[in-house]
Amino acid sequence: MEKIYTRTKTIQEDKVSGFCPGCMHSTVIKLVGEALEELNLVDKAVCVQGIGCCGLHMDYIAYDDITAAHGRACAVATGIKRTNPGSLVFTYQGDGDFASIGLAESVSAANRGENFTVIFVNNGIYGMTGGQLSPTTLVGMKATTAPKGRDPKEHGYPMHMCEILNELKAPYYLERTSCNNPANVMKTKNAIKKAFQYQMEGKGFSMVEVITSCPTNWGLDPLKALDFIEEKMLPEYPLGCFRDRSKEEG
Amino acid sequence: MSRVFMKGTEAVAEAAVRAGCRFFAGYPITPQNEVPEYLSRRLPEVGGVFVQGESEVASVNMVYGAAAAGTRSMTSSSSPGIALKSEGVSYCASARIPMVYCNFARGGPGVGSIQPAQQDYLQATKASGNGGFRMPVLAPATVQEAVDMTYRAFDWADRDRTPVLILADGVIGTMMEPVVLPEMKSDEEVAAIKESKKKWACIGHPLDYAHRSWIEPGQWSTQKMQKCNEDAAALYRSWEKEAEAEEYQTEDAEIILTAYGISGRIAKSAVNLLRAEGIKAGLIRPKTVYPFPNYAYDKLDYGKVKAILDVEMSIPALFVEDVDMAVKGRCPIETCLCSGGNIMSRDAVIAAAKKIMEG
Ligand SMILES: Cc1ncc(C[n+]2csc(CCOP(=O)(O)OP(=O)(O)O)c2C)c(N)n1
Ligand code: SF4
Ligand SMILES: [Mg+2]
């Protein structure tokens, strides 16, 4: 029989994942690994880890990894990529990391058109610290620091990072995907591959925003969390490609 | 090697380039704007990279990235900006990433004043970020020393995989003096330095579980974290023998002036004038303020020394705390202070010394 699926070599076999059951970080990091392998880029890969639950994978991935201070991944990636243009550099950041504490670093790197890739894992909550309000928490969605739910009068509205960065001229590729069903998982992997390819071609800033679940802090079982993505998250965060300059180049 | 006439900030920047620094990120702040300005034109000439960061926080984290990827890297700022660098410096210390940064200190606290001051002493020597790390802190008193210390800082940083701080001030930064610049490292030497870090540098490695680069500014395991701190503490102890001070006319001295940086230079001039008037004055000027040169104070003949006069451009006095620990109560310590961006007056130092000797 032909073997049609195998575990990515970019995840060490003897290590155990620290993610909660049903956490989509593990899906995204698997897709990143598969993309690297399929593009033959593993030996050039540098992951700049944000601070958050994404830090739970640094122990078991098999390529280079550096932990940035909370929010500073885009600054750290700038330093690495500018001095090592041959490396494949990507940040891996949550919504608190990328869109709150790191907002200045994120927007500024995108505006400079830095030639690296952001994998922005948006689960609408601060996972690692136990479910506090994030800039991307939905209106009405409860958080431990917004016990009555997000109230626009007090907290404002969810931030749409693809749309915000799409206001800038420099970014080359911006796409929002999800991992809530097999088709979207494939789309996420293709988007990651596209972003990595553009980076290796020297095209400039690329970001894939992945809408993911945090069953633990959403207080939902993993399957219900998939429904929540479909019914609540995706209407607020429409999937699709916001910017692909290769199309304009023809 | 030729002598040139250069401003302190630009001389430090050029010394960094000659030491093999090929990445600089910084954010404008007076009185050190010439550092980023100079490097924005100089680094591209030698194949280096300059980035104007969106903040000091971003800049120091860019340096953390570039240095973790094997390139000799630097940032610089002045007091309020240096406070913002503490996050990245702490990460470099924890992950053992070599980098150099420079504080052309100005008045404080808060936005303070844009003129020279020495109000950042405790921050520089005791707690430049969270987590209780230490690092070498070099304190130049002349533009020449600033140049030599910057050049040496890169070697020290690489040897021990540590951040190194040049604690200068606005006088050193804005003053022009003749300097002899150090030798320019060749492209081959710069490449060899980067090559020597390839094993651990975060640049991509073959898929081999044993050899990937993993830059860890912290640990999930408490045992591992303790081990990191024990190793770091052993490193810090090893630096004690590298403490350095200028000891000037101390042998027969009855009054010792002590100061670092620009205050040390002013105090030295005061020693000469006091000697001309028959007062046996001497000077201890730490060149490394961490590790602190306690040995220089131990060598004094406390049978002869009537008092120590601490001279600093800081109110309250801060450097005096280290002097106090070095002197260990063996003689009284008096202070001569100014603050707010005012430069220490030599006359005030002489008057303070005379008052002690007459009293
Ligand atoms: C300077 C700093 N502030 C706060 C924290 C605490 N902290 C760790 S992770 C985190 C939020 C993580 O949320 P997010 O980025 O959305 O990632 P997730 O865990 O949801 O994937 C916070 C606030 C920290 N480590 N450092
Ligand atoms: S807390 Fe949420 S984001 Fe973190 S591992 Fe658990 S499910 Fe994933
Ligand atoms: Mg999150």
DSSP for chain A, written as a single string: --------TTB-TT----SPTT-THHHHHHHHHHHHHHTT-GGGEEEEE-SSGGGGGTTTB-SEEEEPPTT-HHHHHHHHHHH-TTSEEEEEEEHHIIIIITHHHHHHHHHHT-SSEEEEEE-SSBTTTTSB--TTPPBT--BTTBTT-B-HHHH-----HHHHHTTSSS--EEEEEE-SSHHHHHHHHHHHHHHHHHHHTT---EEEEEE---HHHHT--HHHHHHHIIIIIHHHS--EEEEEHHHHH-
Q: Is A217 in the pocket of ligand 2 (CB under 6 A)?
A: yes
Instruction: Choose one of B191, B211, B241: the last residue of a domain.
Output: B241
Judge if B63 and B205 occupy the same domain.
Answer: yes
The alpha carbon of A10 and the centre of ligand 3 are apart by a number of angstroms equal to: 24
Residue A235: per-residue pLDDT: 98
Ligand nearest to the CA of A130: 2
Instruction: State whether B64 and A63 contact (CB < 8 Å).
Output: no
A17/A95: higher pLDDT: A95
pLDDT of residue A58: 83
State which residue of chain B sits closest to A66, comparing Cα positions: B215
pLDDT of the residue at A55: 84
Give the number of A-B residue pairs with CB atoms closer than 8 Å.
136
Look at residue B254 in the predicted model and tell me its pLDDT: 98
Task: Give the gap in angstroms from C-alpha A60 to the nearest C-alpha of chain B.
Answer: 9
For residue B54, the chain A residue with the least C-alpha distance is A108
- The CATH number that applies at residue B79 is 3.40.50.970
Tokens 């910084």 found at: B26
For A103-150, what is each residue's pLDDT tens digit?
999 999 999 999 999 999 999 999 999 999 999 999 999 999 999 999
What is the atom index within ligand 2 of the atom nearest the CA of A94?
3
Co-location of B200 and B249 in the same domain: no
Q: How many domains does chain B have?
A: 2
Which of A214, A223, A229 is the best mutation target for the ligand 2 pocket, counting ligand atoms within 8 Å of the beta carbon and taking the most?
Answer: A214
Q: Report the predicted TM-score, pTM, of the whole model to 2 decimal places.
A: 0.98
**Mutation target vs B (from A40, A51, A83; most B CBs, 10 A cutoff):** A83
Task: List residues near ligand 1 (CB under 6 A).
Answer: A 50-54, 70, 94-97, 121, 123, 125-129, 134, 214
Higher pLDDT residue, B122 or A13? B122
Q: Are residues B148 and B106 in the same domain?
A: yes
On chain A, the residues whose CB falls within 8 A of the CB of B71 are: 83-84
Mean pLDDT over the full length of chain A = 96
Which among A42, A68, A87 has the least Cβ separation from residue B61? A68
- For the ranges B2-6, B163-167, B269-273, the lowest mean pLDDT is seen at B2-6
User: Do residues B150 and B110 lie in contact, with contact meaning Cβ atoms separated by under 8 Å?
Assistant: no
Rounded distance, CA B230 to CA B236, Å? Answer: 10
Q: Is the domain of B309 the same as that of B341?
A: yes
The Cα A92–Cα A87 span in angstroms is: 16
**Per residue in A143-180, pLDDT tens?**
999 999 999 999 999 999 999 999 999 999 999 999 99
Confidence bin at B36 (pLDDT 50/70/90): very high
Pair type for strands A117-122 and B255-258: unpaired
Q: Are residues B270 and B214 in the same domain?
A: no
Check if B129 contacts A (Cβ < 8 Å): no
Crossing angle between the packed helical segments A182-200 and A25-38, to the nearest 10 degrees:
50
Find residues 281-310 of chain B whose CB sits inside 8 Å of chain A: none
B102 and B151, same domain (yes or no): yes
pLDDT in tens, A220-231: 999 999 999 999
ipTM of the shown complex: 0.97
When CB atoms are compared, the residue of A45, A78, A108 closest to B65 is A78
Contact B68 A80 (CB under 8 A): yes
Asked whether residue B59 falls in the same domain as residue B206, the answer is: yes
Task: Flag if A67 and B203 touch (Cβ within 8 Å).
Answer: no
**CATH (domain of B336):** 3.40.50.920
Contact B207 A69 (CB under 8 A): no
Q: Which of A46, A75, A83 sits opposite B71 (nearest CB)?
A: A83
Q: What is the pLDDT of residue A250?
A: 64
Contacts of B23 in chain A (CB under 8 A): 79, 82-83
Could you tell me if the CB of A197 is within 6 A of ligand 2? no
Burial class of residue B59 in the structure, from the number of CB atoms within 10 Å of its CB (0-12 exposed, 13-18 middle, 19+ buried):
buried
The residue whose CA is least distant from atom 9 of ligand 1 is: A52
pLDDT value for B209: 75
Per residue in B230-279, pLDDT (tens digit) is 999 999 999 999 999 999 999 999 999 999 999 999 999 999 999 999 99
Nearest to A80 among B66, B91, B217 (CB): B66
- Asked which of B241, B267, B284 is the last residue of a domain, the reply is B241
pLDDT digits (tens, 9 = 90+) for B53-107: 999 999 999 999 999 999 999 999 999 999 999 999 999 999 999 999 999 999 9
Whole-number percent of chain B with pLDDT over 70: 100
pLDDT band at A30 (very low <50, low <70, confident <90, very high): very high
Write down the pLDDT at residue B35: 98
| Boundaries of domain holding B79 | 3-241
Gap from B91 CA to chain A (nearest CA, Å): 7
Q: Is the pLDDT of residue A91 over 80?
A: yes
B195 in the same domain as B321: no
Q: What is the rounded average pLDDT of the residues A25-42? A: 97
Question: Relative to the CA of A126, which ligand 1 atom is closest?
Answer: 13
How close does chain B come to A141, measured CA to CA in Å? 31
**Are B273 and B256 part of one and the same domain?**
yes
Residues of A in contact with B62 (CB under 8 A): 75-76, 78-79, 82
> What residues of chain A lie within 8 A of the CB of B55, using their CB?
104
Tokens of A190: 């293709």
pLDDT at res. B356:
97
A172 touches A245 (CB < 8 A) = yes
Last residue of some domain: B185, B215, B241?
B241
Among A76, A108, A168, the residue to mutate for chain B (most B Cβ within 10 A): A76
Interface contact B217, partner A, CB < 8 A: yes
- Which is the closest atom of ligand 1 to the Cα of A95? 16
Tokens of B210: 């044993």
Which chain A residues are within 8 Å of B208, Cβ to Cβ? Answer: 62
Average pLDDT of the segment spanning B215-244: 97
Percent of chain A surpassing pLDDT 70: 100
**The pLDDT of residue B205:** 95
pLDDT exceeds 80 at position B338: yes
In this structure, are B233 and B351 located in the same domain? Answer: no
Q: Is B134 helix (H, G, I), strand (E, B) or coil?
A: coil
Residues B170 and B297 reside in one and the same domain: no
The structural domains of chain A, ordered by start, are: 25-125+161-213+224-249 (3.40.50.970)
Q: Ligand 2 within 6 A of A126 CB?
A: no
Same domain, B118 and B210: yes
Q: How confident is the model at residue B1 (pLDDT cuts 50, 70, 90)?
A: low
- Whether B118 shows a pLDDT value over 80: the answer reads yes
